[in-house]
Structure 1
Amino acid sequence: GYCSAANLEHVKDLEADGATEFFISTRRMKHGRPVPESPRGRIPADATPVERMARKLKTKKGQAVYARRKAIVEPVFGQINTRQGKHVLLRGLEKASGEWKLMAGCHNLLKLFSYRTATA
């Protein structure tokens, strides 16, 4: 998954540069489960990178940022999967990458077309 020790160490280096701030899910959460309480106090010095990220996600800012991700990024994958299917048909990284770019471009064109016809 995305939350590996190597990824979190790389993220720590990028955040130190001040480029951006990362919020990486540490585990799957079931729908309808109550959101854990926001932590209080300092982060323990002996916390692992995964524990630190989990704690960061439990803060009010972390919850707000992660909630926006669900509204911005996730629907696009769902819409593409519904229209084109969940699998690429071509084999090999280069061909599969080209197929994905074509699907993403078609998705964007459909959005532009539907927006244009809705405002006309």
Structure 2
Amino acid sequence: MPTCLGIDAYLATGRLKHGEEPAPVRGKMPRDLSLKDWRARRLRTKKGRAVYARRKAVAEAPFGQIKQVRGFWQLLLSGLAKARGEWALICLTHNLLKLYRATVAA
């Protein structure tokens, strides 16, 4: 089904209560599913659950730290090249601060 720019995204379509397990799926994916139903069924597969479970461990924590702790909420420069450069500078300073704090604490 759909991929955008080669990205194989796993997106939530609803919520489950704490401890509630989604109904497992079996067999081939039906062709007549809507996009929302297709995504929901995809998340109920073993691979889908494993991929989606990693979402908090991958890259969300640094973004939250940069936004909340450093107070960086928006890019100041316009244009793709300038925005990429600004973001690279923010990431560099974030990582340098982490290294500095790790060596001072040791």
TM-score (norm 1): 0.64
C-alpha distance in 1, partners of 2:16/2:65? 20
Residue 92 (str. 1) matches residue 79 (str. 2) = yes
Residue 73 (str. 1) matches residue 59 (str. 2) = yes
CA distance 1:114–1:91, shift in 2 (3 Å): same
CA distance 1:62–1:52, shift in 2 (3 Å): same
C-alpha distance in 1, partners of 2:28/2:61? 35
1:64 matched residue in structure 2: 50
The number of equivalent residue pairs is 104
The answer as to whether partners of 2:10 and 2:48 remain within 8 angstroms in 1 is no
C-alpha distance in 1, partners of 2:91/2:33? 39
Cα deviation 1:74-98 (Å, max 9, x = unaligned): 1111111111321011222222221
CA distance 1:32–1:38, shift in 2 (3 Å): same
1:103 matched residue in structure 2: 90
Of all paired residues, the percent bearing the same amino acid is: 42
C-alpha distance in 1, partners of 2:34/2:27? 17
1:36 matched residue in structure 2: 22
What RMSD, in angstroms, separates the aligned Cα atoms of the two structures?
3.0
Measure how far apart 1:101 and its partner are: 0.7
Unaligned runs of 5+ in 2: none
C-alpha distance in 2, partners of 1:77/1:52? 29
C-alpha distance in 1, partners of 2:32/2:15? 28
TM-score (norm 2): 0.70
Higher helix share: 1
The answer as to whether partners of 1:23 and 1:62 remain within 8 angstroms in 2 is no
CA distance 1:44–1:31, shift in 2 (3 Å): closer
